[in-house]
């Protein structure tokens, strides 16, 4: 297999991430890297990409064996790299690392997905509440919602990258992707746009990846990747409540797929502080897109 020339500018090391694997993992020209901040639609996009690669509906296609999280600190990264290197099919790789910390080459496709940062924050809060052992993360999401949100807004950017789970880390991830967008192979998707027009976004992604499928298959993939369909698959899985699962209920990974999760939980002044923080870190146009994608409204 042909490897491509890549560059990487820095390391990110935190409790969840370790980017050392990018030093020896060789990218191929047709690789697809799904690169998102946490809780921004990662599993959703992995499922879509892997079904496009297969050319058909495959339940839980974006599983961790077939579309692995390459730079997860808590997994055997060398074994993941070796397994992926042995594949002959087109590969799909998951990462939450800002793009200056992963291998960037001119040929692979980088699919970045964003979500309103406050929604991502509250989605991760639910994620932590669903974990059997959340002792390592509960400090970031204390029972006091206001205290947790203050940490989210005010937390600094560190070498842990998106492991910080702060607004600064999400915006840094976004600006690093934007810096590479002019190169032509970094493609932006938004959770709100996927929710509003899933069929159109899947069709757009197929075109980006040069995958030609019939209109019927695209429709089938759309039906299979609604939140209700993905949840039904997990509800029927023997792994839903398996003792090896780190979650109380695997199906809660697809809890609702809704936006505005802060309603009734934050005061207007909290949202005002969020808007002020975004305005200090982003242009008005970038802030509007990061919040709502091409919809530009709730």
* Mean pLDDT of all residues in 72-100: 96
In Å, how far from its chain's centre is CA 82? 23
Query: Helix (H, G, I), strand (E, B), or coil: what is residue 206?
Result: helix
Rounded CA separation 254/175 (Å): 28
* pLDDT(10) > 70: yes
Query: Helix (H, G, I), strand (E, B), or coil: what is residue 64?
Result: coil
Per DSSP, 57 falls in state: -
User: Could you tell me if residue 208 is inside a domain?
Assistant: yes
Instruction: Please give the pLDDT value at position 125.
Output: 86
Residue of 61 and 174 predicted with greater confidence: 174
Helices (H), the chain: 42-54, 77-85, 117-129, 145-154, 167-180, 191-196, 198-208, 215-224, 227-235, 268-281, 284-292
> Residue 257: which pLDDT band, with cuts at 50, 70 and 90?
low
User: Could you tell me if residue 14 is inside a domain?
Assistant: no
Percent of the chain with pLDDT over 70: 85
- Yes or no: say if 184 and 107 are a contact pair by the CB < 8 Å rule: no
Instruction: Please give the pLDDT value at position 132.
Output: 60
Percent of the chain with pLDDT over 90: 74
User: Could you tell me if residue 6 is inside a domain?
Assistant: no
Instruction: Please give the pLDDT value at position 240.
Output: 61
pLDDT digits 0-9 by tens, 137-172? 767 788 889 999 999 999 999 999 999 999 999 999
> Residue 244: which pLDDT band, with cuts at 50, 70 and 90?
low
Instruction: Please give the pLDDT value at position 36.
Output: 98
DSSP code per residue over 116-149: -HHHHHHHHHHHHHTBS--TTTTTTS-S-HHHHH
Q: For residue 246, what are its two tokens?
A: 């780190």
Rounded CA separation 17/84 (Å): 19
User: Could you tell me if residue 67 is inside a domain?
Assistant: yes
User: Could you tell me if residue 227 is inside a domain?
Assistant: yes
pLDDT digits 0-9 by tens, 164-182? 999 999 999 999 999 999 9
Instruction: Please give the pLDDT value at position 142.
Output: 87
Backbone angles phi, psi at 97, to 5 degrees: -80, 135
Q: Give the CATH number of the domain where residue 126 resides.
A: 3.40.50.300
Q: For residue 76, what are its two tokens?
A: 């055997």
Instruction: Please give the pLDDT value at position 197.
Output: 96
> Residue 229: which pLDDT band, with cuts at 50, 70 and 90?
confident
Instruction: Please give the pLDDT value at position 295.
Output: 77
User: Could you tell me if residue 4 is inside a domain?
Assistant: no
Q: How far is CA 78 from CA 27, 72, 88, 137, 188, in A?
A: 15, 11, 18, 26, 29
In sequence order, what are the residues at sequence separation of 6 or more whose Cβ sits closer than 8 angstroms to the Cβ of residue 138?
Answer: 128
Mean pLDDT of the chain: 90
User: Could you tell me if residue 13 is inside a domain?
Assistant: no
Closest among 102, 101, 156, 151 to 124, alpha carbons compared: 151
Instruction: Please give the pLDDT value at position 148.
Output: 92
Backbone angles phi, psi at 166, to 5 degrees: -125, 165
Q: How far is CA 157 from CA 25, 93, 234, in A?
A: 26, 25, 35
Rounded CA separation 114/104 (Å): 19
Instruction: Please give the pLDDT value at position 95.
Output: 98
User: Could you tell me if residue 230 is inside a domain?
Assistant: yes
Range of the domain at 102: 19-295
Which helix or strand (DSSP H or E) is residue 33 part of?
Answer: strand 32-35
Structurally, the chain folds into a number of domains equal to: 1
């Amino acid at each position: 297999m042909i490897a491509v020339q890549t560059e990487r500018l820095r390391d990110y090391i935190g409790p969840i991430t370790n980017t050392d694997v990018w030093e020896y993992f060789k990218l191929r020209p047709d690789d697809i890297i799904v690169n998102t901040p946490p809780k921004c639609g990662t599993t959703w996009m992995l499922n879509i990409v892997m079904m496009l690669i297969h050319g058909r509906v495959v339940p839980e296609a974006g599983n961790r064996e077939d579309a692995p999280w390459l730079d997860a600190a808590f997994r055997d990264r060398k074994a993941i790299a070796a397994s992926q290197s042995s594949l002959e099919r087109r590969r799909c790789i998951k990462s939450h690392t800002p793009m200056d910390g992963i291998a960037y080459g001119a040929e692979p496709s980088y699919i970045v997905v964003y979500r309103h940062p406050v929604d991502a924050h509250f989605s991760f809060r639910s994620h932590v509440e669903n974990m059997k052992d959340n002792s390592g993360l509960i400090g970031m999401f204390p029972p006091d919602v206001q205290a947790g949100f203050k940490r989210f807004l005010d937390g600094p950017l560190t070498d842990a990258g998106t492991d910080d789970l702060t607004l600064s880390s999400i915006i840094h991830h976004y600006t690093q992707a934007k810096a590479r967008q002019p190169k032509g192979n970094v493609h932006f998707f938004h959770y709100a746009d996927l929710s509003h027009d899933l069929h159109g976004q899947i069709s757009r992604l197929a075109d980006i990846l040069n995958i030609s499928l019939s209109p019927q298959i695209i429709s089938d993939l759309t039906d299979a990747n609604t939140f209700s369909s993905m949840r039904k698959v997990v509800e029927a899985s023997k792994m839903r409540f398996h003792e090896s699962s780190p979650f109380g209920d695997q199906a809660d990974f697809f809890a609702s797929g809704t936006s505005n999760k802060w309603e009734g939980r934050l005061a207007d002044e909290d949202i005002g502080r969020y808007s002020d923080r975004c305005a200090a870190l982003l242009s008005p146009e970038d802030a509007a897109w990061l919040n709502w994608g091409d919809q530009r409204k709730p």
